[in-house]
Amino acid sequence: MESEKFLKKTTGSQSVSSKDLLSCLDNLQSIGRKEFDAKFDLAEAGLRHGREVDTSRFICLSLNAKADYEQFKYGTMVLEQYLDEHPDSGKDLQGFRILVDRLDHAIRNKWSSWKTLLNDKKALKAEVASLEVRIEDLNKQIEQLKNIENIIKSREIGQP
């Protein structure tokens, strides 16, 4: 996302509240992928045209489980901008922002841990492959030693 202002200044009396955001999240938790995509696109278009009612809807949709990380981050930036432009927002919305920030932090930690696990898995696969080659080499050496042992035994049996 670009570092531009996402919200056009509005003079409407419609405000964003944590109660509305939480109710919206509850109402939309079971929507399907197509419906989510359509609602998100509609809210994003409204947001870009300065309809403040779409600000709340957009933030809500960006927090939906179907939102990808880019949509989530876009929504958090819109929330931040809204709070900057509406310093009179209630403490509940400020607290809501803190929860969203913690959620973002948890998501990033999860992804970082996942990436670390994937890297560890790659390294372990490479180590297993290397050990399998080593095992194969050792098995060949064991077979060679058994052959040598058999040759020595057959020579000993053949001697008077």
pLDDT tens by residue, 32-63: 999 999 999 999 998 888 776 678 899 999 99
Q: Is the pLDDT of residue 75 over 90?
A: yes
Q: Is the pLDDT of residue 110 over 70?
A: yes
Burial state string for 113-133 with b = 16 or more CB within 10 A and e = fewer than 16: eeeeeeeeeeeeeeeeeeeee
- pLDDT band (50, 70, 90) for residue 89: confident
Q: Is residue 127 part of a domain?
A: no
Q: Is residue 98 part of a domain?
A: yes
Burial state string for 23-47 with b = 16 or more CB within 10 A and e = fewer than 16: ebeeebeebeeeebeebbeebbebb
Q: Is residue 43 part of a domain?
A: yes
Smallest CA-to-CA distance from 80 within 96, 64, 65, 69 is with: 96
- Domain total in the chain: 1
* Positive or negative torsion for Cα 131, 136, 140, 142: positive
Domain residues for the domain of 59 are 18-110
Instruction: Note the pLDDT of residue 145.
Output: 96
Site of tokens 């609602």: 39
H helices of the chain, in order, are: 18-27, 33-48, 52-62, 69-85, 91-158
Cα separation values, 17 from 38, 46, 60, 137, Å? 23, 18, 11, 68
Q: Is residue 82 part of a domain?
A: yes
Q: Is the pLDDT of residue 12 over 70?
A: no
pLDDT digits (tens, 9 = 90+) for 92-106: 899 999 999 999 999
Q: Is residue 13 part of a domain?
A: no
Length of the chain: 160
Q: Is residue 117 part of a domain?
A: no
Q: Is the pLDDT of residue 6 over 70?
A: no
Q: Is residue 42 part of a domain?
A: yes
Q: Is residue 106 part of a domain?
A: yes
Q: Which residues are within 8 A (CB) of 10 and not within 5 positions of it... i.e. 6 or more apart?
A: 50, 51, 52
